[in-house]
Amino acid sequence: MHFRSQKKTAGDVSLSDALDIDSEGNGLYLMDVVSQEEDMAERVSSMELCRSLRGYISEVLDSREAEIIRLRYGIGGGIPKTQRETAQICGISRSYVSRRH
């Protein structure tokens, strides 16, 4: 039974496993290789701010203005459009887009 249970976890890897150790005994760990430089708290804060912004756009702006802002800045997962592209999609002038964003 012991060998059967060991077989199930044989492929498991820990983030604290050493990948290499230099001549001074300093280790390079898996955690160092796969970690991200980004600060998680900053990402969460940014996501909350974006969620609030989308809510404000829907609540405060009329549907046309909201669509211009969404297109222009890529809000909601789209690719940001230029003023000219936004104007063409909405069937309005570029100067109107400029005044609305």
pLDDT at site 16:
72
The DSSP secondary-structure symbol of 101 reads -
The DSSP secondary-structure symbol of 14 reads -
pLDDT digits (tens, 9 = 90+) for 27-80: 777 777 665 566 767 777 888 888 888 888 888 999 999 999 999 988 877 899
Mean pLDDT (whole number) for 12-37: 72
Q: Is 27 helix (H, G, I), strand (E, B) or coil?
A: strand
| CA trace torsion 74, 80, 82, 85 (10° rounding) | -70
pLDDT at site 33:
67
